[in-house]
Structure 1
Amino acid sequence: MTAKQTLLGAAGALALTAGMAAAQDANPGLIIDLGGKFDKSFNESAFNGAQRWVEETGGEYMETELANEAQREQTMRRMADRGANPVVVLGFANASTLDQVAPDYPDTEFVIVDMVVDQPNVKSIVFSEHEGSYLVGMMAAMASETGTVSFVGGMDVPLISKFACGYAQGVKAVNPDANVIVNMTGTTPTAWNDPVRGAELTRSQISQGSDVVFAAAGGTGIGVLQAAADEDILSIGVDSNQNYLHPGEVLTSMVKRVDNAVYDSFVAAAEGNLEPGITVMGLENDGVGYALDENNQDLVTDEMRAAVEEAQAAIIAGEIEVHDYLSDNSCPVPL
């Protein structure tokens, strides 16, 4: 090795060490996606994770809520320019923007929750939503008295079809003859925050015989759960534990631990251990699952719980394979 190569190597190592030290000293930043931090679902779960970090460490973080699509790039750049490190970005819709922005800030660590961005300074956290949805689909089929259950998605994108497909597979595993009705709220980002439309779709599904409805629709899901309670059918929440919204009416919630994703990212960055690459959160590491608490304990029978626990163990062991819609944009169960 020449003296010049040795000098360059030492300089590179020094720059890397300095970058890690800067990340440890900086405050993290959180960019909350459309729908707001109090959507009682995806965004609120992320916010709760950040708040848990604050409570446990006494640290501070920067926060911005997106108001419209046009703000995505500007918000990321502003957060990085303010010195936030890492910058945690919520939602799959931010992926293409982050892919463009991250290279311009090589000394800033970014985290995206819900999509993969292949950049050397980006950590991508994704979830096995199809596995958790399979479990709540089983519960829906076991709780249904009509043999017809339903699903209300938010924006009609492959990620939400991943939920729907997993749910339908779980339903059919229990009752092959069951009818699964699937509706999406819309094709634009407003579909995440339209509880009135969510309620309308739910009532339409009820008129077709559905007596259990699963909402994977962000803030729109609040309308789904409300309509289900009003019509005295069971509902299933998503992302956050939404059982408390209508105690005794919400069969369970397919929890997606976005809170853990944010909390763990903040902690890792503070310790200098935030690594780029892809992290998958599934059943085996409590990244997804179903919620059981005092609000739904009377709805979940011992038989139901035993069946779901058995299926969960089989999925983790590889004995049950739940098809991932995103693997080929198709579902073995018609949607």
Structure 2
Amino acid sequence: MRRISKLTRVAVGVASLGLVATACGSTSSESGASDTKGDKGLAIAYDVGGKGDQSFNDAAYAGLTKAKAEYGYKTADIEPTEGETDADKEQRLVSLAKQGYNPVIGVGYAYGPAMKAVAAKYPDTTFGIVDSVVEGKNVASLVFAEEQASYLAGVAAAKVTKSNTVGFVGGVDIPLIHKFEAGYKQGVQDTNPKVKVLSQYLTQTAEEGGFASPDKGKAAAEGQIEKKADVVYQAAGLSGQGVIEAAAKAKVWAIGVDSDQYKQAPLAAYKQYILTSALKDVGGAVYALAKSVDGGKPLTGTQTFDLKVNGVGVSEANPEFGKVAGLKDAVDKAKKGIIDGSIKVKTE
């Protein structure tokens, strides 16, 4: 049986996990043959792109590995399938709950309908969903102030651009990614109104591959670079790797997303051109939910991770970040303004 420890306040910090997630891999499950209810720990079901995206999903996996190391229990992480339906997602969550995993986390807004249906059927299991709000007594909705991190990314872009043209590449044209774009544009304009922002979404739906097609990301970035963009920020999941590759080949700046992409081993060939990354501590949120369940007081309801709790931020891992005149000071000033409320960041 899993031990119950005294619940302590979980301080979620962007740097807490290091989010230097593992590279790639197929579906992994460390469960044994037993289906005994409640004898297993955290399970996560990945979003489009799966493990190895060096971004969103890998950040969630970092949270799982931290929980596994601390609590010593069995874990599972399950890959999505191409062209899957809500029914497929629902069956995946049902399978994990039946096997006794607790909590069970759907990584990504696409799990919303499935989560709502399954959570009601398994009231003794705590469920979590990243990037969406699902109502339920046993559901924790783990959401982030992406617009705040993106604002800081926009400040950085405006400080380093020499062409006064920067780019934004969004994976899918949905409200969640609009938050990234809105914050980024506002950060750019508040820092230097003369800077033009080029924006492009790769697809209208996730099923079209907007979060899973590096070739699409590369082509979009190349188009913006041809139009003189010398900084390109991507919020595109696995597709963002193509954006980073294009920026590096053109010797312009890329801005990563979710994880600190400067530190990702598969992106090492391009790292000198990754100025910063707009971070969201998905791993910290995943770990926080696992910790609360282990402590016997599961988190439920909407749990928002913003700058005030270090749930979002920007990376300063690239030494060049500290060498650009006025860059760090400008980012620090903007962060302070967002936290104290003097800067209101748009979400649309």
TM range (shorter): 0.7 to 0.9
8 Å contact kept, 2:230–2:252:
yes
In the alignment, the residues of structure 1 paired with residue 159 and residue 55 of structure 2 have an alpha-carbon distance, to the nearest angstrom, of 25
1:116 deviation in Å? 0.4
1:248 deviation in Å? 1.9
In the alignment, the residues of structure 1 paired with residue 213 and residue 344 of structure 2 have an alpha-carbon distance, to the nearest angstrom, of 34
Q: CA RMSD in A?
A: 1.6
2:337 partner amino acid:
A
Number of matched pairs:
303
Q: Secondary structure at the match of 1:220?
A: helix
- Compare CA radii of gyration and give the structure with the larger one: 1
Classify 1:124/1:262 alpha carbon distance in 2 versus 1 (closer, same or farther; 3 Å).
Answer: same
Q: Secondary structure at the match of 1:120?
A: coil
Unaligned runs of 5+ in 1: 1-21, 326-335
State whether structure 2 residue 256 is matched by structure 1 residue 237.
yes
Of 51-60 and 222-231, the range deviating more from structure 2: 51-60
State whether structure 2 residue 222 is matched by structure 1 residue 203.
yes
Classify 1:23/1:278 alpha carbon distance in 2 versus 1 (closer, same or farther; 3 Å).
Answer: farther
Q: Secondary structure at the match of 1:124?
A: strand
State whether structure 2 residue 244 is matched by structure 1 residue 225.
yes
TM-score, with length taken from structure 1? 0.87
1:281 deviation in Å? 0.3
1:57 deviation in Å? 2.8
State whether structure 2 residue 143 is matched by structure 1 residue 126.
yes
State whether structure 2 residue 286 is matched by structure 1 residue 262.
yes
8 Å contact kept, 2:37–2:99:
no
Select which of 283, 286, 307 maps to 2:307: 283
1:59 deviation in Å? 2.3
Select which of 232, 247, 250 maps to 2:271: 247
* Aligned structure 1 segments of 4 or more residues deviating by more than 4 angstroms: 22-25
8 Å contact kept, 1:23–1:108:
no
Q: Hey, what does 1:171 align to over in structure 2?
A: 188
TM-score, with length taken from structure 2? 0.84
1:24 deviation in Å? 7.1
Q: Hey, what does 1:11 align to over in structure 2?
A: none
In the alignment, the residues of structure 1 paired with residue 46 and residue 325 of structure 2 have an alpha-carbon distance, to the nearest angstrom, of 38
1:289 partner amino acid:
G
In the alignment, the residues of structure 2 paired with residue 137 and residue 126 of structure 1 have an alpha-carbon distance, to the nearest angstrom, of 21
1:302 deviation in Å? 5.0
1:73-152 → structure 2 map (5 Å cutoff)? 73-152=90-169
Q: Hey, what does 1:72 align to over in structure 2?
A: 89
State whether structure 2 residue 176 is matched by structure 1 residue 159.
yes
8 Å contact kept, 2:97–2:104:
yes
State whether structure 2 residue 338 is matched by structure 1 residue 319.
no
1:55 deviation in Å? 2.1
1:81 deviation in Å? 1.4
Classify 1:267/1:26 alpha carbon distance in 2 versus 1 (closer, same or farther; 3 Å).
Answer: same
